[in-house]
Amino acid sequence: MAFVKTLAWFGVTILSAVLCFGQTFTVGSTTTQLNPSQRGSVGTYWPDGNMGAIFHNGTNYVFAPTTAPGTVQITLPSLNTWTSGLSLNAPTTNLAYGGANSFDQNYAGGQAVYYDSASGYLIELYHGEQHFCGFNCGGSPSYSALGLAYSTDFGNNWHKLGEVISPQSAWTNGGVNCQADVSMGTLLVVGSYLYTYYDDNGTGCSGEQLAVARASISSVVAAAVAGTPFTSGPGTLFMKYTGSGAWTGNGVTDLANPQNGGGAFAAIATDPNGGGIYMPSVRYDTYLNQYILAYSNFDEAVLMTSSDGLTWGNSQNIVTGGGAPPNAIFYTTLFNTSGGDPQVLGQNFSVFYVAPFGTWSNSNLYSVAISVGSRPAPPVLNQPVVN
């Protein structure tokens, strides 16, 4: 994302252990997975955001945005060691910038992916930006939203469908441009739905808050198979969670007029450290039977947990040493690094992040190993007496 291109070096401190619903998360060693030169060999500023991954036919495919624009993917034998066996798979047809006054006029980069094995379609959520000051101004102020794309050949050629989630705030409020960053979003399977966690801005361009929207898997796949771009009417493929069990906020108010923003939303978590929740990554952990959220507040990389994906708590710092830009931690991504589906966690997993995201010469991709201790016995509940 364009607003973090000139940051500087800082120290990184790892905490030893955290607690979560009675669980002990042990924070292990930190590994430098890619140095600046290795990152540059994949793509410009790659990864320029959170990452997505698919385990397909025995191979790990990792997808992340580049400023070129578009998505650049790599394959890896193991997600534990990125310097061994990394292969670059640059798309033949990548995501392109949108037209004038489109939500992705100045940036289009994809990362979150879902593979529908029945149809063979690969679905991707991508981050788009409109820069108010022009194309080459460093990206601030800018307004971002999320779009949907698909591929029928596992990422060799990408086709854009269009915008699906916009912040509630309009581009301009009272003549003032809105600086809004939705982050990169995720595509998490929850029953028959795809959930995406992102940052929303309320009316009047109020501060960024963690939000969630969802779309039925069948409707997303049907939209990809139809291949018809979203150009008019309300954007209702993804609906925002608005609280109390309701999903009534339109993803986009008016597809023909992206400047109008999106529907209402409910903030689902706050950072107890006093910062924001930026670049959220959410996975389900089958060992804990909990959802896990990793995010950056710029100062720290943080974990949170939830039993339903909507109510979050038990914040735990796992990496410290950052700060407000230019000294920040960016692009936290949760991956299962123990084999199998990278996007389904177990007792051991890793959090990936870029730090510091400063000049190209000093930016590294790191991973920190996380392990979960023995699960405590479930609480004993008082049972009714039956006469």
**Residue bearing tokens 């198979």:** 225
The verdict on residue 41 lying in a domain is: yes
Which pLDDT belongs to residue 4?
39
The verdict on residue 154 lying in a domain is: yes
pTM for the model stands at 0.90
Which pLDDT belongs to residue 15?
37
What one-letter code names the amino acid at 260? N
The verdict on residue 385 lying in a domain is: no
The verdict on residue 221 lying in a domain is: yes
- Give the C-alpha distances (Å, rounded to integers) separating 167 from 193, 206, 312: 21, 10, 21
Which pLDDT belongs to residue 235?
97
User: In this structure, are residues 187 and 52 in contact, taking their beta carbons and an 8 Å threshold?
Assistant: yes
Which pLDDT belongs to residue 185?
87
How far apart (Å, rounded) are the C-alpha atoms in residues 349 and 183? 22
Domain count, the chain: 1
How far apart (Å, rounded) are the C-alpha atoms in residues 127 and 181? 9
What range defines the domain where residue 193 resides?
A: 2-372
- Give the C-alpha distances (Å, rounded to integers) separating 4 from 45, 133, 181: 10, 16, 12
Which pLDDT belongs to residue 13?
37
Count the neighbouring beta carbons within 10 Å of the beta carbon of residue 47.
Answer: 28
The verdict on residue 7 lying in a domain is: yes
The verdict on residue 383 lying in a domain is: no
Which pLDDT belongs to residue 3?
39
The verdict on residue 142 lying in a domain is: yes
The verdict on residue 50 lying in a domain is: yes
Averages of pLDDT over each 10 residues, the chain, 387 residues: 37 38 77 94 92 95 93 96 94 94 94 96 96 63 95 96 98 93 94 98 94 98 98 97 98 97 98 93 96 94 95 92 79 96 96 80 89 66 40
For residue 216, what is the domain's CATH number? 2.115.10.20
Sign of the CA dihedral with 256 first, then 260, 262, and 264 last: negative
